[in-house]
Chain A
Amino acid sequence: MQETKTKTVRFIISRQDTPDSAPYQDEFELEYRPNMNVISALMEIRRNPVNVKGEKTTPISWDMNCLEEVCGACSMVINGKPRQSCTALVDQLEQPIRLEPMRTFPVVRDLQVDRSRMFDSLKKVKAWIPIDGTYDLGPGPRMPERKRQWAYELSKCMTCGVCLEACPNVNSKSDFIGPAPLSQVRLFNAHPTGEMNKAERLEQIMGDGGLANCGNSQNCVQSCPKGIPLTTSIAALNRDTTFQSFKNFFGSDQI
């Protein structure tokens, strides 16, 4: 028999069985494999759901989809930081690796959360470009290439929820929609066709739970996995809404 001790990886995972049940911790120890990420470790646990105490348990529930950090589904709190588990490489993480759900959102089960509120917010702020009509609207105005490249950065948002998790003003006591949908307003207002609905979007974020709830902690821009200039978007929207509110109050015969 060989005496060599195999290298292992320890995980402490915050779990809960139903949306309303109390969370508890479960600890797992896995055999180390090179280039492991958090998802491959979770898959390994799923294959053999036995915790460190040797008890057989249920597989861990989590969300995932693209596995290349573009869909935003697999976000969770890893060693205290909200991020995508697909790009969380075990080699770069301190052990034991602690996994928790992003509790800003309602927890469905274990590490799986319900991010519906973000998609509802996108609908609220009309984060799209209306091009449908009863007749052919023809080609839209052209967008300068430089602007397209700039807008591309804002379009990288994958609604992952990390900025909402990091924001101290997004919590159960407030209705704040959070940085992600706000930045989308800036993206769609910058588009030559989207600009036609600029005032509508601005007025929406001037409503309850909107832009004014930002307290400038700037955690969002520091935490965004896509490096989106969220706080610049917010400040730019602050300027736009300032002008919009003056326009609304003092009036103008121009639409």
Chain B
Amino acid sequence: MAGNREFFNRRLHSLLGVIPVGLFLVQHLVVNHFATGGEESFNNAAHFMESLPFRIFLETFVIYLPLLFHAIYGLYIAFTAKNNTSRFGFFRNWMFMLQRVTGVITLVFVAWHVWETRVAAAFGAEVNFQMMENILSNPFMFWFYIIGVISAIFHFANGLWSFLVSWGITVSPRSQVISTYVTIGIFIALSIVGVRALTAFI
């Protein structure tokens, strides 16, 4: 395997983006959506997630380590590209560029989000409805969260499309077109879930 480290890293990067990071994103958005049912409903859902057994292991192996690898290797990938959408304005080339831009935005957002919630929790703050309500009462932070959440969802949906290509699942142009439509659908559906949850806090 030493001979093809790059191949291995790239494939691992693609896999981790979907499993587990992508799945975690979907789960996180769905749990957040409990906020639309009011403060109590959100706090109950958050409490349930917090009281999962072996939480520190789940967080480390399902979230932190895969996310860290995906983020760091992703930055390297993003900065080795030389974007040329001005010369080649094809749809997929725009998606290629946006995948890299949203990846960087998502990284900035997630870093801030983890700092504000998880790191704050480690210093004694309680992660609950009220905490999010406080954060999102600032219009700047609200829009920062909207942009961050939409970027993350776009990056996931479009990344799912390229995951299917990178692993050789969608080979024919037709299957790639259909998976484009499916991933656009996923982007729109998850965006509704994410934005609804955010607006529920204000």
Mark A residues whose CB is within 8 Å of B: 80-81, 166, 168-169, 171, 173-174, 203, 206-219, 222-223, 229, 231-232, 234-242, 245, 248-249
Contact = CB atoms under 8 A, between A and B. Distances in A.
Contacts of B6: 207-210, 212-213
Given A168-B93, A169-B81, A229-B173, A212 B7 contact: yes
B82 interface: yes
A249 B171 CA distance: 23
B80 A173 contact: yes
B168 interface: yes
Contact of B87 (A80, A171, A212, A218): A80
A239 B168 contact: yes
Nearest to B90: A222
A217 B89 CA distance: 10
A245 to B, nearest CB: 7
Given A222-B88, A235-B170, A203 B4 contact: yes
A223 B173 contact: no
B117 interface: no
Contacts of A213: 6, 10
Interface string B156-194: 000001100111111111001000000000000000000
A238 B173 contact: no
B165 A219 contact: no
Main secondary structure of the interface of B (DSSP, over half): helix
Interface string B67-88: 0000000000101111110011
A242 B84 contact: no
Contact of A174 (B9, B80, B165): B80
B165 A238 contact: yes
A215 B166 CA distance: 9
A182 B34 CA distance: 48
Contacts of B109: none
Contacts of B7: 206-207, 210-212, 241, 245
B24 interface: no
A242 B176 CA distance: 18
A168 B96 contact: yes
A235 B88 contact: no
Pick the most buried of A207, A217, A239: most chain B CB atoms within 10 A of its CB: A217
Contacts of B171: 232, 235-236, 238-239
Given A216-B96, A219-B93, A166 B88 contact: yes
Contacts of A223: 88
